[in-house]
Chains A and B, each alone.
Chain A
Amino acid sequence: MKPRQLQFFLLEFTLSLVILSVALVVALNLFAVSARQHTEALALRTLSQTLVQEAEWLRHPESDWDLRYPEALTTTTYDQKGSLSENAVYTITVMRTITGNLETATLTLIEEDTVRLTLEVIREVTP
């Protein structure tokens, strides 16, 4: 191989390595983004189920709302995987209001500052 040919080969080889390395970095970045979105989707599904189950508890005619939600606004925080945690990524709030003889509980799932899901349970005020 002539020196000129060798230089050209080395240049081509180096360029190929650079391009493939950039492709690898892009692939790793894609994996990271997919993993984050996957974790977010799982957490949102888990928390929406929690919200539905909580609404079912509130719908029960014999459930004592005062016992579980003594305040007008109750807040529970969850981490990025949807587990109970002080490190709030997701928040479930339960707001209780009374209008006439109807008592309303509004359950809201919030991701940082975005409202993801809202459910409302209404029942008559028990004397």
Chain B
Amino acid sequence: MKRPAFHNLIILTLLTLFLAGAGFVVISGAQFYTRMVKENDVSLNRQTVVLYFNQRLKTHDAIGRITLTTQSGIQVLVFEQDGFYTLIYEDRGHLVEQSSETPDIDRLAALPVVPLTALAFALSEHLLTVRYTDEAGEIVTLRYTLVREENPS
């Protein structure tokens, strides 16, 4: 049985279309997945920063022991509770938390929380402003209300 030439052409076209479609799906799927994971990481890290400061501040605000210091040019947010200190600052591209008996920076005792850069704090009577640059290069500003004078320990 001999097939006409256009039958072969149709089969070849179908096969080419299928291969092109399969290649498109695999490549676009890989790109989509990579982008999704990256966006998800950035979004989760932003959420983590918001919730981390929210939880930390609510815990220590009632006690009224939140101070802002600068050590070796690094801004450090210091929480004091029962003679122990929790220090929050930026170290090597990460927001880090350090728990110690002194309010001094000890990088070896610091634990990384999330990646960020250009972390800066501004503390006023009722307001803590946190500003940082996230992994996507976007500047994020968070404002937290401090009501320690209304809720003294």
Which A residues lie at the B interface, using CB under 8 A? 3, 6-7, 10, 13, 17, 20-21, 24, 27-28, 31, 34-35, 38, 41-42, 45-46, 48-49, 52-53, 56-57, 59-62
B126 sits at the interface (CB 8 A): yes
How far is A48 from B47 in the complex, measured between Cα atoms in Å? Answer: 9
B36 sits at the interface (CB 8 A): yes
CB-based contact B1/A3 at 8 Å: yes
CB-based contact A53/B143 at 8 Å: yes
Q: Which residues of A contact B1 (CB under 8 A)?
A: 3, 6-7
CB-based contact B127/A60 at 8 Å: yes
Say how far B25's CB is from chain A's closest CB, in angstroms: 5
How far is A37 from B118 in the complex, measured between Cα atoms in Å? Answer: 32
- What are 27 inter-chain pairs, A to B, with CB distance below 8 A? A6-B1, A10-B11, A17-B15, A20-B18, A20-B22, A24-B21, A27-B25, A27-B29, A28-B25, A31-B25, A34-B36, A38-B39, A38-B40, A42-B39, A45-B43, A46-B43, A48-B47, A49-B46, A49-B47, A49-B50, A56-B144, A59-B145, A59-B147, A60-B145, A61-B145, A61-B150, A62-B126
CB-based contact B47/A45 at 8 Å: yes
CB-based contact B22/A24 at 8 Å: yes
Among B94-153, those with CB < 8 Å from A are 126-127, 142-145, 147, 150
Contact with A along B1-22 (1 / 0, CB 8 A): 1000000000100110010011
Other 6 A-B pairs with CB < 8 A, given A21-B18, A34-B32, A61-B145: A3-B1, A21-B21, A45-B44, A46-B43, A56-B143, A59-B145
Q: Which residues of A contact B28 (CB under 8 A)?
A: 31
Q: Which residues of B contact A45 (CB under 8 A)?
A: 43-44, 46-47
CB-based contact A38/B36 at 8 Å: yes
How far is A49 from B143 in the complex, measured between Cα atoms in Å? Answer: 11
B59 sits at the interface (CB 8 A): no
Which B residues lie at the A interface, using CB under 8 A? 1, 11, 14-15, 18, 21-22, 25, 28-29, 32, 36, 39-40, 43-44, 46-47, 50, 54, 126-127, 142-145, 147, 150
- Looking across the interface, which residue of chain A has its beta carbon closest to that of B128? A56
Q: Which residues of B contact A49 (CB under 8 A)?
A: 46-47, 50
CB-based contact B145/A35 at 8 Å: no
Q: Which residues of A contact B32 (CB under 8 A)?
A: 31, 34-35
Q: Which residues of A contact B21 (CB under 8 A)?
A: 21, 24
Q: Which residues of B contact A62 (CB under 8 A)?
A: 126
**What 3 A-B pairs are tightest by C-beta distance, nearest first?**
A3-B1, A59-B145, A60-B145
CB-based contact B145/A57 at 8 Å: yes
